[in-house]
């Protein structure tokens, strides 16, 4: 038998979660601060609830997806809502930090509910797809008991561990890598345009270069995992070789008057290592400087 689910929040993501649950025949109720946002979901079969407390009391599983933890807290820590949580499985899908997830877990569990903290590695249009990744940490019992529901939201779902903040921490770590690439792309486009290249040329060459970049990325992770920082026969490019190419970026910025805030920060990191005589070490040897 499928659990009764209540979703708090019918924004872009919350609505997509509700639509997916209805599509998989989960009896789903929904509450949103602005009730009008729930109307299209009601038309699809969602039950509208008049209050957060009524929604929680009607459900076995509570999914929260509002703007941030402050908004979520304000909903849960009012009136008789807290007392309605006892015995429920609470799945928090609002984005938050590891610290907020730890605090939330303590508070929810103190109300007698089970708590799973989730991070969604997708935009709303990917919810419910076979490869969509959602990360969870916190109560293993809640994860195991609701696995079918969780996999309905994304086939690439995984359980990171029992420490509640770990899903959020992994999300932050993965996004950090993404921002590095996106900021790098913006800087690269500025260089390309300054030298009269069109961005279609830049774009078409990104695909050819991607396997090389991906290989370097995974190599850096593997080496860091093994703390194999000294240059060796398997080193793809030494720090010295990287720096010699990197200096062309600094030169391009200076010559073409481009903003160099990000390259300067990278230059500082390279120089710390090179001033300690590490030119022959692997690129991964920069890792200790980030700790």
Give the footprint of ligand NAD on this chain (CB under 6 A): 9-14, 32-34, 65-68, 71, 74-75, 94-95, 120, 123-124
CA distance 119 to 167: 6
First to last CA, the chain: 48
Q: How far is the CB of 231 from ligand NAD (least distance, A)?
A: 39
Q: How far is the CB of 31 from ligand NAD (least distance, A)?
A: 9
Looking at the Cβ atoms of 26 and 31, the one nearer to ligand NAD is 31
Looking at the Cβ atoms of 30 and 113, the one nearer to ligand NAD is 30
Q: How far is the CB of 8 from ligand NAD (least distance, A)?
A: 8
CA distance 251 to 242: 15
Looking at the Cβ atoms of 178 and 221, the one nearer to ligand NAD is 178
Q: How far is the CB of 93 from ligand NAD (least distance, A)?
A: 6
Looking at the Cβ atoms of 11 and 156, the one nearer to ligand NAD is 11
CA distance 275 to 272: 5
Minimal CB distance to ligand NAD: which residue? Answer: 11
Kindly state the tokens that stand for 137: 């940490």
Q: How far is the CB of 187 from ligand NAD (least distance, A)?
A: 25
Looking at the Cβ atoms of 12 and 140, the one nearer to ligand NAD is 12
């Amino acid at each position: 038998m499928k659990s009764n689910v209540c979703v708090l929040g019918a924004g872009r993501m919350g609505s997509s979660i509700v639509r997916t649950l209805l599509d998989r025949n989960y009896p789903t109720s929904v509450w949103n601060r602005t009730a009008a946002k729930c109307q299209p979901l009601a038309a699809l079969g969602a039950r509208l609830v008049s209050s957060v407390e009524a929604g929680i009391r009607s459900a076995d599983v509570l999914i929260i997806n509002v703007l941030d933890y402050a908004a979520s807290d304000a909903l849960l820590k009012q009136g008789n809502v807290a007392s309605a949580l006892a015995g429920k499985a609470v799945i928090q899908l609002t984005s938050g930090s590891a610290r907020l997830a730890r605090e939330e877990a303590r508070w929810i569990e103190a109300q007698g509910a089970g708590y799973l903290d989730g991070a969604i590695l997708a935009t709303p249009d990917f919810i419910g797809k076979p490869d969509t990744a959602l990360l969870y940490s916190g109560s293993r019992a809640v994860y195991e008991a609701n696995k079918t529901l969780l996999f309905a939201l994304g086939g690439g779902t995984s359980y990171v561990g029992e420490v509640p903040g770990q899903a959020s921490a992994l999300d932050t770590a993965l996004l950090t890598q993404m921002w590095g690439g996106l900021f790098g792309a913006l800087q690269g486009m500025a260089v390309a345009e300054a030298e009269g290249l069109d961005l279609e040329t830049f774009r078409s060459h990104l695909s050819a270069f991607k396997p090389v970049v991906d290989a370097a990325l995974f190599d850096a992770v593997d080496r860091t995992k093994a703390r194999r920082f000294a240059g060796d026969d398997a080193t793809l490019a030494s720090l010295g070789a990287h720096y010699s190419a990197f200096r062309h970026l600094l030169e391009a910025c200076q010559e073409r008057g481009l903003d160099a805030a990000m390259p300067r920060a990278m230059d500082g990191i390279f120089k710390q290592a090179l001033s300690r005589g590490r030119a022959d070490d692997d690129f991964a040897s920069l890792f200790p400087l980030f700790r």
